[in-house]
Structure 1
Amino acid sequence: MTTTHFFSFFIITTLLTLTGATDFVRPIDRSLLGLNRKQKVSHFKFYWHDIVGGKTPTSVQVVPPPMNKINTTSAFGFVAMIDNPLTLAPELTSKLVGRAQGFYASACQTEVDLLMAMNFAFIDGKYNGSSITLLGRNPVFNKVREMPVIGGSGLFRFATGYAELRTHWFDLKTGDATVEYNVYVMHY
């Protein structure tokens, strides 16, 4: 590269940088986002109620499994949207603390493994209006499963962590289930 080309490149690069034409990301002061404080670790325990049957289901199939194309017992390809209650105790009549909103899909051809994407939208106490987001694999017939916390909103901005899931109750006839969630979240 000649001196003239280098000088021209330097001037153009400097002008583009100063005008922001090449930047789509910039450093930001952590204090503007409230990140000067140390992270807290919180443990949440609640029960997730997946109601498939009855007059008021909270889990609705939006894509049926393509059984005519794939011979499987895993319902591979099935997708359901959810708006499931989160309660303090296993009984559906116990105190409602939030809703699990999102979807799950059967993502395995050989066993019942779900891909789950959901927000735990809290409606009670200090965390009212805040949410925790989970995204991950749930092999539903394992005794204990683990899913990652990938973020959140409100008091859970920049959240990370994990959830341990244990099936408390499952009805083979209706498909209804109650699952205990223990969620460990690092947040500010």
Structure 2
Amino acid sequence: MKRLTWILILHLFSVSVQSQYYTESLPYDPEEPKVTNLHFFLHEFLSGSNPTVAMIAQANITSSDNNSSVPFSTIFALDDILKTGPEDNSEVIGNAQGLGILIADTNTTNLLWYWDFGFITGKFNGSSISMFSRNPTTVTVRELSVVGGRGKFRMAKGFAQLKDYSRNDTTIIAELNVTVIHY
């Protein structure tokens, strides 16, 4: 019995030693990075029967100076449609899901966007690119940062130029030219 007790104690010590935090750094030798240029249109519906934007939180601002219907610190959920063209009947190639936060209480509308652009057709089916950037909506052409991706866009970086193609009270169609560097 005494021998069994010692065997169990030694075994417990070996288990605790083997379960210690472990890390190993290996040299990183990737293949040549690829550069992919994407061109597509984002269709965003602010209202109607199938809106793609929903307000999920809004600050309780009581200032009389704030006459905006969408005040500072409003948070939106997004599920916009990606298409090959600006027309309603253009081919759907994916969707852009994410969050937007109104970050400026000024005369300009500055938004902070996190979007994951997921593709559902073609050679990038099942892949996505992630963008996280400030989006000053009063500027004609905005630049957004590509900060990551998955699938064929794993370890992506790059930038997107976003330009409003058309805009009204219910719909925004934006043209995107995206340069993605990935492995």
Under TM normalisation by the shorter chain, which class is it? 0.7 to 0.9
Alpha-carbon spacing, 1:49–1:65, altered in 2? closer, same or farther (3 Å): farther
1:137 aligns with one of 122, 130, 134: 134
Q: Aligned residues: percent identity? A: 32
Amino acid paired to 1:85: I
Tell me the residue number matched to 2:178.
Answer: 183
Per the alignment, do residues 86 and 124 of structure 1 end up closer, same or farther by CA in structure 2, a change over 3 Å counting?
A: same
Q: CA distance change for structure 1 residues 70 and 138 in 2, over 3 Å: closer, same or farther?
A: farther
CA–CA distance in structure 2, aligned partners of residues 51 and 95 of structure 1: 17
User: Pairwise CA RMSD of aligned residues?
Assistant: 2.0
Query: Which sections of structure 2, spanning at least 5 residues, go unmatched?
Result: 1-16
Matched, 1:148 2:145: yes
Distance 1:153 1:70, change over 3 A: farther
Which TM-score applies when normalising by structure 1?
Answer: 0.80
2:43 maps to amino acid:
H
Letter in 1 for 2:179: Y
Q: Structure 1 unaligned segments of length 5 or more: list them.
A: 1-17
Which residue does 2:52 correspond to in 1?
A: 58
Shifted more, 72-81 versus 50-59: the winner is: 72-81
| Cα distance per residue 1:66-109 (max 9 Å; x no partner) | 34257333621111111110001011320111100111110111
1-side partners of 2:176 and 2:64: how far apart? 32
Rate the CA distance shift 1:36–1:70 in 2: closer, same or farther, 3 A.
Answer: farther
Which protein shows a greater Rg? 2
- The superposition leaves residues 162-183 of structure 1 with CA deviations (integer Å, 9 ceiling, x where unpaired) of 0001011111x33x21111111
Contact 1:66–1:77 (CA<8 Å) still a contact in 2?
no
Question: Could you tell me how far apart the structure 2 residues matched to 1:185 and 1:134 are?
Answer: 11
